[in-house]
Amino acid sequence: MKQVYIVYDSAVGGFANQINREWAKSGYEVLGMMAIPADEEHKTLATVDSIVRALLGAGAGRGTLLLAVGGGVTTDICGFVAAIYKRGMAAEYVPTTLLAQVDAAIGGKTGVNFDGVKNAVGVIRLPQKVHFRSEPLASLPAAQIRSGAAELLKTFALFDEQHYDEAVRLFAQLQAASYKGTVVTDALPKIVELASLAAKYKGKVVAKDLFDTGKRHLLNFGHTFGHAIEWWQSTEEGSAALPAKYSHGEAVAIGMVRAAELSEKDGIAAEGFAQKLRADLKACGLPTELPCPQEKLIPAILNDKKIDEGGKLDFIYLKRIGKPVLKKRRISDITL
């Protein structure tokens, strides 16, 4: 009989129990279930340690499947455990946040934080399968949906104009209704449909460049400035200046508008393109303006791990929605 061990985010215990029943019914022996606290403080080797102990205690072997039910923290940790347990067991994910559905669970990047350094330890290893379910999204706070929506819109902005337009309409409608009542419930199947399509686009890019040395850089659209904003808001100055921190998706949304402005400035996109993208993201409730003068972000951009020896990085422009353009650029070229 096939065996599975389920590790789940303690915030989605009810849903994990449902998954347990479903897998047991479909012919799996469920060796055990383990809840983990899913936050950055627990995304550590100590949690990896406790999962490995639980697997050993339950008698899991290399042939046992590790099933992760949770957001990106849970899938990143479990993907790493699966890669190292008895030299590698298969993993499958049931992502329970929109961000994990469109991004974290897709592409094989796994790992944990170490000594405060994010994702300092990890490997790249694809899960065997990712299961898309709408039920867990019902309990996600609106801010979490918006953050995932930003990554979803990023993917469609890169590859698919028709679904970009569709997604903008959907998330703008949710935003206009303040994410209240049946509007959200009714939208869940459509959100998951769009999420799995966005995940497919990411999967296609990843398949061509699993180890992130070239084509996969396309997915960094909006991330050069997005990462810099995330860094700045964690500095003393940034945290004092901002009433609340931007989520990853919000920071990426601002970065996308910046990249669109640069696309216009460099003659890659037509005039008015950045304004359109800004208006779309704003309608979806996402921020679009830099929270600080650009020069404050330069130290973080200079620190970008993707800068080569020649001082250049792959910067992602858009010619228009659905048409990305990758160019090697110096930092001085991507600042206005």
Ligand X SMILES: NC(=O)c1ccc[n+]([C@@H]2O[C@H](COP(=O)([O-])OP(=O)(O)OC[C@H]3O[C@@H](n4cnc5c(N)ncnc54)[C@H](O)[C@@H]3O)[C@@H](O)[C@H]2O)c1
Say if residues 20 and 33 touch (Cβ distance below 8 Å): yes
CA 121 – CA 80 distance, rounded (Å): 9
Q: Interaction with ligand X in 22-41: which residues (CB under 6 A)?
A: 38-40
In the complex, minimum distance from the CB of residue 30 to ligand X, in angstroms, rounded to a whole number: 21
Burial of 108-144, coded b for 16+ CB within 10 Å and e otherwise, reads bbbbbbeeeeeeeebeebbbeebbbbbebbeebeeeb
Query: Among the candidate windows 123-131, 133-141, 209-217, 298-306, which touches ligand X by CB under 6 A?
Result: 133-141
Determine, following the binding rule CB under 6 A, whether residue 43 of this chain makes contact with ligand X: yes
Determine, following the binding rule CB under 6 A, whether residue 220 of this chain makes contact with ligand X: no
Determine, following the binding rule CB under 6 A, whether residue 253 of this chain makes contact with ligand X: no
In the complex, minimum distance from the CB of residue 90 to ligand X, in angstroms, rounded to a whole number: 17
Query: Among the candidate windows 46-54, 138-146, 215-223, 234-242, which touches ligand X by CB under 6 A?
Result: 138-146
* Sign of the four-CA dihedral 82, 84, 86, 87: positive
SS3 content of the chain, % helix, strand, coil (to 5): 55, 15, 25
Determine, following the binding rule CB under 6 A, whether residue 92 of this chain makes contact with ligand X: no
CA distances from 126 to 76, 82, 90, 105 (A): 11, 10, 9, 9
CA 336 – CA 334 distance, rounded (Å): 7
Determine, following the binding rule CB under 6 A, whether residue 127 of this chain makes contact with ligand X: no
- In the complex with ligand X, which residue's Cβ is closer, 109 or 258? 109
Determine, following the binding rule CB under 6 A, whether residue 285 of this chain makes contact with ligand X: no
In the complex, minimum distance from the CB of residue 47 to ligand X, in angstroms, rounded to a whole number: 12
Q: What angle do CA 134, 136, 138 make, to 5 degrees?
A: 80
Determine, following the binding rule CB under 6 A, whether residue 288 of this chain makes contact with ligand X: no
Determine, following the binding rule CB under 6 A, whether residue 47 of this chain makes contact with ligand X: no
Determine the straight-line distance between the first and last CA of the chain, rounded to whole angstroms: 61
Nearest to 55 by CA among 46, 70, 65: 65
In the complex, minimum distance from the CB of residue 312 to ligand X, in angstroms, rounded to a whole number: 24
In the complex, minimum distance from the CB of residue 1 to ligand X, in angstroms, rounded to a whole number: 29
Three-class SS of residue 112?
strand
- In the complex with ligand X, which residue's Cβ is closer, 109 or 296? 109
Q: Interaction with ligand X in 293-312: which residues (CB under 6 A)?
A: none
- In the complex with ligand X, which residue's Cβ is closer, 108 or 324? 108
Mode of pairing for the β-strands spanning 65-70 and 91-95: parallel
**Nearest position to ligand X, beta carbon:** 72
Determine, following the binding rule CB under 6 A, whether residue 12 of this chain makes contact with ligand X: yes
Residues that bind ligand X (CB under 6 A): 9, 11-12, 38-40, 43, 70-74, 76, 96-97, 99-100, 103-104, 107, 109, 119, 136, 139-140, 144
